[in-house]
């Protein structure tokens, strides 16, 4: 199984990098795991709606260029469906069972994801209504993917 995260922007904080690297190392026994970073669009602090749309569109195009037709795509979106860790694990297991060996998760930039990216996604997933920093979300997502594999393996890690 191949798991890919397509994310906007570079990860700068060493402590996030270290946490993600640890979970990526743990995941290596279950799947091929990689993170693909696309550049964020530089923009001033205060933007008009038209400027925001341009930023989102450029980031969205970069995201879509990193996804191929056979990938099953989860878009992280605040309005997506919340899942428990067990439900998420079951979903990952079923995807593998039914021939979806390439799974991609998309984390947008600070302005979110365009409709084009959301339409390309097979499903939208939410980690709650909290707004989390992009960098922290990468770490949380990576841990939850690892947790899903551990649940499916019957490991006590989940408890």
* Cβ-based neighbours of 20, under 8 Å, separated by 6 or more: 11, 35, 138, 139, 142
- Contact by Cβ (8 Å): 7, 134: yes
> Binding site annotation covers 154?
no
Is 136 marked as binding a ligand? no
* Lookup: tokens for 64: 């879509």
Cβ atoms within 10 Å, residue 95: 18
Q: Residue 104 has which token pair?
A: 């991609």
Tokens of residue 107, six digits? 């984390």
What would the two tokens of residue 117 be? Answer: 């990216």
Binding site members: 76, 108
Binding site members for S-adenosyl-L-methionine: 76, 108
């Amino acid at each position: 199984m191949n798991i890919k995260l397509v994310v906007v922007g570079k990860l700068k904080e060493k402590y996030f990098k270290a946490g993600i690297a640890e979970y990526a190392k743990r995941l290596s026994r279950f799947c091929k795991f990689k993170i693909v970073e696309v550049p964020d669009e530089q923009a001033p602090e205060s933007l008009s709606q038209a400027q925001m749309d341009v930023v989102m569109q450029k980031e969205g195009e970069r995201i879509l260029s990193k996804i191929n037709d056979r990938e099953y795509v989860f878009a992280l979106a605040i309005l997506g469906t919340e899942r428990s860790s067990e439900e998420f694990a079951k979903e990952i297991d079923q995807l593998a069972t039914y021939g979806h060996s390439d799974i991609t998760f998309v984390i947008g930039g600070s302005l979110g994801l365009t409709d084009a990216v959301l339409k390309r996604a097979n499903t939208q997933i939410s980690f709650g209504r909290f707004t989390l920093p992009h960098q922290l979300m990468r770490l949380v997502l990576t841990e939850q993917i690892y947790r899903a594999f551990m649940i499916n393996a019957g490991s006590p890690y989940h408890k």
